[in-house]
Structure 1
Amino acid sequence: MPNRRPRGYQPQWKPRARTRELLAAVDRILERYAVQLPLTIRQVWYSLISDGVLVKEERTYKQTVELLGMARRSGRIPWEALRDDTEIRAEPVAYEGPDNFSAGLRRAALEYRLDRQAGQPVRLEIVCETAGMVPQLVAVADPYGVPVGSGSGFNALPAKRGAALRAAADGHRAVRVFVVSDWDPSGVHLFSALAEDVTAFAAVDAPGTEVVFERLAVTEQQIAEHQLPTAPPKASDRRSFSGISTTQAEALPPDILADVLKAAIVSHRDMHVLAALLEREEEERRRLLQNLGFDPDAD
């Protein structure tokens, strides 16, 4: 790595032999999880550990951060392959002109969809402690119309009350919230705080509505089954924790997490109801395009 902190693009970067070996290992990981991209840096790091390329130490994580930073600056790894989720940006809506607006209108009509949870016996939601993993979960959940939120945002007081209000607005249909969080005092506390607070709000705002929280990942069974890397609990964290070791949710391979989430969603879906709704959705989308003057069969 350069002696000074790099700035901007680094097209002249010439990694050493050991760094090239690490990059080749990263290439294999990005290819393996191509369907789940973008990955978080921590997911890449845990994959390098699982592959026996790195050991689980703080120094190797910092090494991975630096490596992936230079790899993106130099063009060695596509920027789109990784997700950081540190930027919050609000972009005003604007158009180049009427034709551009018309094209946007057509795109909006093509994206027309119904509430894909309508008619289902249980309304589902997903909460992920790590914001960077949200896009991967969305890729699995979106076809079923299941919303995904980050734990940092969902754990805010208004968000927890909002979950109860959504349950109230949905009538008396049962609600199930899948939670993906670390197996450590923080992740366990996130789960219990969400479950207790949302349930308490729902008891007032949506009386009679069943609200169930289910820990989807990472679990002790998954840790043992997939031999995930662990670390001892931090001595400074005095919150109640029944485990003898900790594991981050990002240690669970992305493809396995995707399979776990899809199986959980499907187990609570009536697929015949969903198929009928998707058929109606397609018919209404075509009619909407025609009403707006667009050819529904055009590419």
Structure 2
Amino acid sequence: MEQMRAILDEYREHLPMSGRQIFYRMVGVYSYPKRERDYDRLMEHLNRARRAGLIPMEDIRDDRAVSIGPGAGFEGPAHFWRSVRAAADGYHRPLTEGQPRAVECWIESVGMLDMVAKVAGNFGVIVYASGGFESVGAKYAAARRIAARTVPTTVLSIVLPGAPTCGRTLRLIV
């Protein structure tokens, strides 16, 4: 419990974290066993701690909870126009406009997307996550996106410590 709390404190500015992120930090920092049954056991402890109020619910993100459906809409014309004004206030030109090279950042873990995007976004870099091993569909979409550009593309690939790499490091410059 104390180790989980220490990890959450260490990453306070990046919360919420996923259970998988906490597991990898436990493996890397505290030599926690890296087996699926140990992950399941850790998740059970984490869930019990959350239910008991020992760890705030909002500190943990569940990437498996997904929904699809129509948006909530607007509560009336005034709400609509506030939304339009807020969108206009957020207008900006892409930082990459006019640059001699496009840059993409690829990560294997969807759980890391928010953290990496906070940093990369400051430089106009979009972060792509495929939720585990990159799928054929994700690779195909990336190839089409990169091929459509008029400037060369550099892909930065981030692999989590302890993640399987098949003995290869991805370096792709198109």
SS of the aligned residue for 2:165 comes to: helix
Shift of the 158–25 alpha-carbon distance from structure 1 to 2, 3 Å rule, reads: closer
2:32 to 29, 47, 55: 55
- Does the CA contact (< 8 Å) of 1:127 and 1:177 recur in 2? yes
1:109 equivalenced with 2:123 (yes/no)? no
1:82 equivalenced with 2:60 (yes/no)? yes
Shift of the 109–185 alpha-carbon distance from structure 1 to 2, 3 Å rule, reads: closer
- Does the CA contact (< 8 Å) of 1:126 and 1:149 recur in 2? yes
Amino-acid identity (%): 31
For the residues of structure 1 that align with 2:104 and 2:132, how far apart are their CA atoms? Answer: 14
Shift of the 189–50 alpha-carbon distance from structure 1 to 2, 3 Å rule, reads: closer
Superposition TM-score, scaled by structure 2 size? 0.79
SS of the aligned residue for 2:99 comes to: coil
In the TM superposition, residue 191 of structure 1 has moved relative to its aligned partner by 6.3
Once the two structures are superposed, the pairs formed by residues 175-254 of structure 1 within 5 Å of their partners are: 175-181=153-159, 186-188=164-166, 211=174
In the TM superposition, residue 140 of structure 1 has moved relative to its aligned partner by 0.9
Segment drifting more, 138-147 vs 81-90: 81-90
For the residues of structure 2 that align with 1:37 and 1:130, how far apart are their CA atoms? Answer: 15
- Does the CA contact (< 8 Å) of 1:26 and 1:44 recur in 2? yes
Shift of the 60–184 alpha-carbon distance from structure 1 to 2, 3 Å rule, reads: closer
1:40 equivalenced with 2:18 (yes/no)? yes
Shift of the 151–187 alpha-carbon distance from structure 1 to 2, 3 Å rule, reads: farther
For the residues of structure 2 that align with 1:191 and 1:27, how far apart are their CA atoms? Answer: 33
For 1:27, give the aligned amino acid.
R
| RMSD across aligned positions (CA) | 3.0
Partner of 2:144: 165
In the TM superposition, residue 111 of structure 1 has moved relative to its aligned partner by 1.8
For 1:92, give the aligned amino acid.
P
In the TM superposition, residue 152 of structure 1 has moved relative to its aligned partner by 4.1
1:239-268 per-residue CA deviation (whole Å, 9 max, x = no partner) reads: xxxxxxxxxxxxxxxxxxxxxxxxxxxxxx
- Does the CA contact (< 8 Å) of 1:151 and 1:190 recur in 2? no
SS of the aligned residue for 1:148 comes to: strand
- Does the CA contact (< 8 Å) of 2:21 and 2:112 recur in 1? no
SS of the aligned residue for 1:187 comes to: coil
Shift of the 97–164 alpha-carbon distance from structure 1 to 2, 3 Å rule, reads: same
Runs (5+) with no aligned partner, structure 2 = none
For the residues of structure 2 that align with 1:168 and 1:57, how far apart are their CA atoms? Answer: 39
- Does the CA contact (< 8 Å) of 2:104 and 2:156 recur in 1? yes
1:135-170 per-residue CA deviation (whole Å, 9 max, x = no partner) reads: 111111112221111134893444333323323432
Partner of 1:133: 112
Q: Which has the larger radius of gyration?
A: 1
Partner of 2:3: 25
For the residues of structure 1 that align with 2:118 and 2:61, how far apart are their CA atoms? Answer: 14
For 2:63, give the aligned amino acid.
D
For the residues of structure 2 that align with 1:185 and 1:28, how far apart are their CA atoms? Answer: 22
Superposition TM-score, scaled by structure 1 size? 0.49
Runs (5+) with no aligned partner, structure 1 = 1-21, 196-209, 212-299
In the TM superposition, residue 117 of structure 1 has moved relative to its aligned partner by 1.1
Q: How many residues align?
A: 172
More helix by share: 1
SS of the aligned residue for 2:67 comes to: coil
